[in-house]
């Protein structure tokens, strides 16, 4: 699918080619794996390509890693994220029919290159739509799962961010609001017909969380992923469960459309080989047909995060 991004002399991606919703994880041996959403639904039997790198500069494909589910569960697979827990690699992702009915599921593997096999658990059975799961382990060992879900009973109806505790890799409890839309730039579509109604639909999605400077930071995307209005902002909190406070109302997003990027978004956070924080995100190619993988430095200070687009690893 093409977005409405505009051609231009844009920042070159880390690796040319379609790679949306990138999630990067550092392996115990110091190497890196990146997982992303594919435009064509993957292969006949496996989904989600993994890219492998020793230095975040040179990448090689490790093939597709998630074994496809039964067709009745869906045909669109989005936004995989992976973590190491209890002696296994766990993948959290959503699957649905087209753009409807997505739920967050979990798969397991002995290796970060797969194959990952779904364990038969829907982590969000009570939600009408749930995507973009992000597992996070606090410094005390407690695990949390952040995700995006649809909320109608709100001043700004749309896709909001939620968080719950994970007592095991396959159980999610105590789900609550993490962050609701709060600004017009987060409008996905005005007068959107959905759920038997018409709404000025807002979207927050793609959360990623780290603990820095004695507090918790969440970076997330807002707006419509299809074009230049898409952007990344942030919120902070004293605990993983909140309360989350969004960036100052009139502050600029940490990533947005500009001279070198069009519609950047859906980020993940990872520590680079030199110990510095990096942000991985996708941005539209110059022809507007591909969301491609980018890396940049990110720095967390008492006043909020800043991104250095001059750095890539």
What tens digit of pLDDT does each residue of 248-262 get?
Answer: 988 889 999 999 999
Domains in the chain, start-ordered, CATH in brackets? Answer: 20-308 (2.115.10.20)
Neighbours of 262 (CB within 10 A): 25
pLDDT digits (tens, 9 = 90+) for 226-283: 999 999 999 999 999 999 999 998 888 999 999 999 999 999 999 999 999 999 999 9
pLDDT interval class at 114 (50, 70, 90): very high
Angle at 69 between CA 208 and CA 15, to 5 degrees: 45
So what's the pLDDT on residue 43?
A: 60
What is the rounded CA–CA span in Å between residue 269 and residue 255?
13
Predicted TM-score (pTM) of the model is 0.95
Q: How does residue 21 score in pLDDT terms, banded at 50, 70 and 90?
A: very high
Tell me the pLDDT tens digit for each residue of 91-101. 999 999 988 89
Structure tokens, 27:
């392996």
Assign 304 to helix, strand or coil: strand
> For the chain, first and last CA: distance in Å?
29
List Cβ neighbours of 29 (8 Å cut-off, separation of 6 or more): none
């Amino acid at each position: 699918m093409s977005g409405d991004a505009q051609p231009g002399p844009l920042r070159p991606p880390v690796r040319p080619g379609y790679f949306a919703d990138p999630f990067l994880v550092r392996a115990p041996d110091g190497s890196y794996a990146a997982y992303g959403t594919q435009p064509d639904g993957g292969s006949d039997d496996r989904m989600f390509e993994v890219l492998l790198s020793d230095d975040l500069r040179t990448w090689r494909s490790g093939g597709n890693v998630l074994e496809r589910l039964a067709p009745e569960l869906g045909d669109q697979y989005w936004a995989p994220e992976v973590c190491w827990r209890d002696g296994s690699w766990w993948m959290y992702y959503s699957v649905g029919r087209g753009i409807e009915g997505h739920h967050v599921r979990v798969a397991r593997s002995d290796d970060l290159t797969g194959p990952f096999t779904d364990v038969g658990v829907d982590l969000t059975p009570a939600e009408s739509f749930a995507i973009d799961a992000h597992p996070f382990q606090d410094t005390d060992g407690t695990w949390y799962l952040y995700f995006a879900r649809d909320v109608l009973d709100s001043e700004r109806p749309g896709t909001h961010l939620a968080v719950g505790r994970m007592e095991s890799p396959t159980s999610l409890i105590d789900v609550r609001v993490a962050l609701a839309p709060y600004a017009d730039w987060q409008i996905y579509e005005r007068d959107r017909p959905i759920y038997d109604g018409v709404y000025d639909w807002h979207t927050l999605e793609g959360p990623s969380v780290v603990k820095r400077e004695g507090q918790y930071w969440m970076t997330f995307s807002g707006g419509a992923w299809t074009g230049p209005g898409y952007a990344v902002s942030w919120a902070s909190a004293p605990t993983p469960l909140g309360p989350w406070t969004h960036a100052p109302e009139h502050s600029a997003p940490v990533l947005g459309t500009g001279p070198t990027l069009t519609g950047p978004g859906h980020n993940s956070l990872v520590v680079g080989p030199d110990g510095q924080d990096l942000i991985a995100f996708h941005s539209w190619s110059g022809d507007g047909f591909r969301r491609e993988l980018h890396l940049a430095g990110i720095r967390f200070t008492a006043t909020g995060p800043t991104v250095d687009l001059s750095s890539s690893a």
